[in-house]
A and B are shown apart, each in its own frame.
Chain A
Amino acid sequence: MSEFDIIIEPKKTIGHYWKELWQYRELFYFFAWRDFKVQYKQTAIGVLWAVLRPLLTMIVLTVIFGKVAKLPSSGVPYPILVFSAMLPWQLFASSFTHSSNSIVENANMISKIYFPRIIIPSSAILVSFVDFVISFSILVIMMLYYGFYPDIKFLLLPLFIILAVMTSYGIGLWFSALNVKYRDIRYVVPFAVQFGLYISPVGFSSDVIPEKWRLLYSLNPMVGVIDGFRWAVCGSVSELYVPGFSLSVLISFLILATGFLYFRKTERSFADVI
């Protein structure tokens, strides 16, 4: 008797999950490419929006927090202080929003074609990452403009970028899977993003949080990400608050691990529920 390649049984993972994911790697790229292209189709200025959006947000935040609220910036140009925090926040917000909605937006495909479902939220992250790279180059240009040169810690930046991606990926997996069953998520996400902006140290430095609340504050995994980012870019402002940072990292890992497991557990019934 011959060997079978695929064995389908209820509640059982079909073997070779990772091997199959590897076989479908091109699709991952294709989805990201599609979403990136479609984003700016039939717009007059096209990809320029990818530059314009973060730039405008940065200006608004600088004006509000730097000029009106007059928060301290310890000698770092305020736009850079804000921008270095906004970059990871934007990366998080857009990955979170896109990946949360990704499965439901592709409902038609989910119910008609098989491919590893995890590709969809993953490629949503990739799209946001491309936007992030564009924004990041604005940061570099701004740093050159202000003559602000970072020290050696800047080299640790990729670590914090990975942390940001991990956090948003974890939450994205959770929410994309939940969204299939509970369409409430659609309303929760924009609210969470808006609310998150105020409870994350984007417009201010987390030094302004009283010492006794710092650890509690770090339960928000984005605190670790943003603090780390800011610390790597403009280190003179603040020292890294190590206990809080470690807690944030731990929570990020936890969210990613549980998000992945939850996604794997529920993906089998996506087509029936969606």
Chain B
Amino acid sequence: MSETVIKIENLSKRYIIGHETGAPYMTLRDTLTDVGKKLNPVRWLGKDTGDKSSKEEFWALKDINLEIKQGEKIGIIGRNGAGKSTLLKILSRITEPTTGKVQIKGRVASLLEVGTGFHPELSGRENIFLNGAILGMRKEEIKKKFDEIVDFSGVEKFLDTPVKRYSSGMYVRLAFAVAAHLEPEILLIDEVLAVGDAEFQKKCLGKMDDVAKQGRTVLFVSHNMDAIKGLCDNGILFFEGKVKLSGSILDVVDHYSLMFQSKKANLLHRYNIGSNFVEISDVKMEKVNIRYNHPIIIFVSTISKKTIVKATFTVTIKNENDNVVGLSYSFDCFELPKDLEKLLKIEIPPFNLAPGNYILNITIGEGNNEQGCKVYDGYFNILKFSIFGDWSKNGSLIGWRKSWGNIVINNMIISDLTR
């Protein structure tokens, strides 16, 4: 079980980015002029001819060391350009590393894009065979699974139509269906779930779950945190070509989501009434993945230009559809002295919030419920979090409450952490 199937040592990948020409590939003339430049005596005299800046190195991956065990489901997350796809490309041998070494045990199949290798002129039936072969399936294997593939794709009526006449949804469904029936020991998947309608996406996820359960090793790159959390046990967070964190998937997703929550993350989501008496200078949640019936904890830094005697926080919790599910304000008013940066911890005690994805909006103002409240600053749509429940072995939720869907947030506790 715990046999290492992928061993990565000091892996780096460098790309040379050309800035001078718009063309991504060389022409013969470029090479000839390059030779000319090399022969140019001015360069030998050590004078800068100014063409050095035309090329820049870019390390898509830098000194990656990883060991992946058999049967592990690994979610790989990170921003665009963090090196996730490059890693999969090296593992699937599409591109070679600049330095380092990778050792792999077992048959690898990679699914970096759905529908690569489909030919628009060929019929659905023909494309199933062609695509299967390109992905590394044997003809016999495809024949055996043909009905299953067709069934999964749901395009049986159009099997003998050229795929160029397919709707884009049908196209993608057929393509995924072929890919989903690969049976390698190691499966590399890159962001392929962002296809088809919601129903089909669910079907794809289910299929991938099946694949994962068969004891295969899966490396899954995605920006869909729900899909990753559902599918993977462990995660790796990439940041600027390096492994920033690896560990249990919840921790990794937590860390990644929090990266976006820091203060300057996004000014667009700020709400700032001109007065600027008080400004929220930073806000961050303690955790993004919160266990059901555990407190929600937020850290807020504030700075005020005048002393505010009765400062108050308002917290609004919305679900993914932007509907408010809960709202609270601080009963305890507190004082914010002038020109002093304060770090405050807001704890919302457990209040039966059902498992799911939520957004937390927070505002700071002055006053109270009786006299009316003036809002000075707020953060909106940045603090995204999930509640997850405990699931029993047979897949049912443990410890649910009948008050779900009818939320009353009882209180908020504010404590001063300013040193």
Which residues of A come within 8 Å of B, CB atoms?
Answer: 1-11, 14, 24, 26-27, 30, 34, 37-38, 41-42, 108-115, 180-184, 268-269, 271-274
Contacts and interface: CB of A to CB of B under 8 A. Distances in A.
A113 B116 contact: yes
22 contacts: A2-B3, A4-B7, A4-B104, A5-B104, A5-B106, A6-B108, A7-B103, A7-B104, A8-B90, A8-B91, A8-B101, A11-B96, A42-B121, A108-B116, A108-B117, A112-B112, A113-B94, A181-B26, A182-B26, A182-B31, A269-B96, A271-B94
Interface residues of B, number: 47
Contact of A8 (B4, B96, B117, B130): B96
B129 A38 contact: no
Given A109-B116, A109-B134, A113-B117, A7 B102 contact: yes
B110 interface: yes
Interface string B244-284: 00000000000000000000000000000000000000000
B207 to A, nearest CB: 20
- Residue of A8, A110, A271, A274 ringed by the most chain B CB atoms within 10 A: A8
Contact of A113 (B25, B27, B100, B112): B112
B15 interface: yes
Interface centre among A112, A268, A269 (most CB of B within 10 A): A112
Interface string B130-165: 100111101100000000000000000000001000
Contacts of B205: none
B403 interface: no
Nearest to A33: B130
Contacts of A180: 25
A269 B99 CA distance: 14
Given A26-B138, A113-B112, A182-B27, A10 B122 contact: no
B415 interface: no
Contacts of A113: 92, 94, 110, 112, 116-117, 134-135
B19 interface: no
B119 A30 contact: no
Interface of B: 3-4, 7, 15, 25-29, 31, 89-106, 108, 110, 112-113, 116-117, 119, 121-122, 126, 129-130, 133-136, 138-139, 162
A6 B103 contact: yes
Given A4-B7, A30-B133, 11 more contacts: A4-B105, A5-B106, A7-B102, A14-B93, A37-B122, A41-B162, A113-B134, A180-B25, A181-B25, A182-B31, A271-B94
Contacts of B138: 26
Contacts of B7: 4
Q: Which 5 A-B pairs have the closest CB atoms?
A: A4-B103, A8-B102, A6-B104, A30-B133, A112-B116
Given A30-B133, A113-B110, A38 B122 contact: yes
A184 B126 contact: no
Nearest to B9: A9
Given A112-B113, A184-B28, A8 B134 contact: no
Contacts of B101: 7-9
Given A27-B133, A269-B96, A34 B122 contact: yes
Most chain A CB atoms below 10 A, which of B97, B130, B134: B134
Contact of B136 (A3, A115, A268): A115
Contacts of B4: 1-2
B116 to A, nearest CB: 4
A9 B93 contact: no
A11 B122 CA distance: 37
A10 B97 CA distance: 5
Contacts of A8: 90-91, 93, 96-97, 101-104
B121 A114 contact: no
A41 B15 contact: no
A233 to B, nearest CB: 36
A119 to B, nearest CB: 10
A214 B162 CA distance: 52
A30 B28 contact: no
A10 B93 contact: no
Nearest to A184: B28
Contacts of A115: 134, 136
A37 B125 CA distance: 13
Contacts of B100: 9-10
B121 A38 contact: yes
Contact of A34 (B90, B113, B119): B119
B216 to A, nearest CB: 15
B105 A183 contact: no
Contacts of A181: 25-26
A271 B29 CA distance: 22
Contacts of B3: 2
A194 B25 CA distance: 26
B119 A38 contact: yes
A19 to B, nearest CB: 13
A112 B104 CA distance: 19
> Among the interface residues A6, A14, A37, A108, which one has the most CB atoms of the partner chain B within 10 A?
A6
B103 A183 contact: no
Contacts of B97: 8-10
A176 B121 CA distance: 24
B166 to A, nearest CB: 15
B27 A34 contact: no
Contacts of B99: 10
Contacts of B31: 182
B92 A41 contact: no
B94 A112 contact: yes
Contact of B134 (A5, A14, A27, A182): A27
